[in-house]
Amino acid sequence: MILGIETSCDETAAAVVAEDLSIRSSVVVSSIALHQEFGGVVPELAGRAQVESIGPVLERALADAGLDAHAPSIDAVAVTCGPGLVGSLLVGVSAAKALSLAWGIPLIGINHLEGHLFAPRLERPDLARPVVTLLVSGGHTLLVVEREDGEFELLGSTIDDAAGEAYDKVARYLGLGYPGGPAIDRLASTGDPKAFAFPRPMRSEGLGFSFSGLKTAVIRAVDAAPGAPVADVAASFQAAVVDVLAAKVARAAALVGARTIALGGGVAANSALRAAVTDVAAQFDMACVLPTLAHCTDNAAMIAAAGFHRLRLGDVSALSLGADPSLALEFA
């Protein structure tokens, strides 16, 4: 069994996962309420909250898994070591090092994005490859293909804003608070997605993304029509984002002859995106794996899942493991 630890941003998470990727426990505590009045995560507050939460969250994860906190039968500890907020990352990394040393078990540093890419396996451990995965989070928008177990090739990424960032910025402009994704998702279901014809940046060619122009178009449209129903703006914005994302997934899947389409990252919780990607998979007669909502957003079970892969490769970390706020994902 692997103990996973994730503290890259405002969530403090710990999980115990068995080798068949069954989840024995998974605890997530968020400090989001502290940041809401500032319209975004305040790094200093997030780091302090991590320090307060890490002990109780670890205790809970071990207790929920029915393990003795002093001598648990854990085989390794996997921890997010980047990218993310350095003050937050260091809390998890330090805790993981202490446990590795105290329990005499391997320490495995995990890239947060690799964790998101392993989340679909928590639903289905034996995905038929090639798998095309769209990873859409607050900081990243990546389209990757996995042809060999755990080897990800980059197909496309964003040249400016991440999809989640666009959601958060538009929501902020519309006065919907932080984080914006869930608020826009809810509101969009009551609006008219055809009320505004927003641009579909880079939709018709390639596998790259760009969301900055779309965000600007939304702001301009709202400025020009201040009385427009916010639900219509939200629905039209979401329709544009989802249209582009689904078109890229379809293009990538056709290009690599995918057998499975998967989603990961916070924006993968979006109801319209889930529906659109399910349609694409059905159209191509491919399997579709959508992580549960709790496994789309930040959690430690996905870090433990990635940990098993690293452990099988013998890729363990030294006790000198550091936190790297801009850690890049290594592609095959």
Given the rule CB under 6 A, which residues bind ligand KG4? Answer: 137-139, 164, 167-168, 179-182, 185, 265-267, 269-270, 297-298
Q: How far apart are CA 167 and CA 241, in angstroms?
A: 9
Binding mask 121-160 for Zn ion (x = CB under 5 A): ----------------x-----------------------
Distance of alpha carbon 12 from its chain centroid, rounded?
A: 14
Nearest-approach distance from CB 135 to ligand KG4, in angstroms: 9
Q: How far apart are CA 237 and CA 142, in angstroms?
A: 20
CB 130 within 8 A of CB 256: yes
Q: How far apart are CA 267 and CA 19, in angstroms?
A: 27
User: Where do the DSSP E strands lie in the chain?
Assistant: 2-6, 11-17, 23-30, 76-82, 107-111, 131-136, 141-148, 151-157, 260-264, 287-289
CB 310 within 8 A of CB 110: yes
What secondary structure letter does DSSP report for 15?
E
Query: 77 - beta bridge partners?
Result: 3, 107
Q: Which is nearer to Zn ion, 8 or 100 (CB)?
A: 8
Q: Which does 118 bind (CB under 5 to 8 A by kind): ligand KG4, Zn ion, none?
A: none
Nearest-approach distance from CB 137 to ligand KG4, in angstroms: 3
6: contact with Zn ion by CB under 5 A: no
Nearest-approach distance from CB 298 to Zn ion, in angstroms: 4
Residue with tokens 């279901």: 189
Nearest-approach distance from CB 295 to ligand KG4, in angstroms: 10
Q: Which is nearer to ligand KG4, 72 or 264 (CB)?
A: 264
Stretch that binds Zn ion, among 59-67, 179-187, 267-275, 290-298 (CB under 5 A): 290-298
CB 222 within 8 A of CB 170: no
298: contact with Zn ion by CB under 5 A: yes
Q: Which is nearer to Zn ion, 165 or 298 (CB)?
A: 298
Residues that bind Zn ion (CB under 5 A): 137, 298
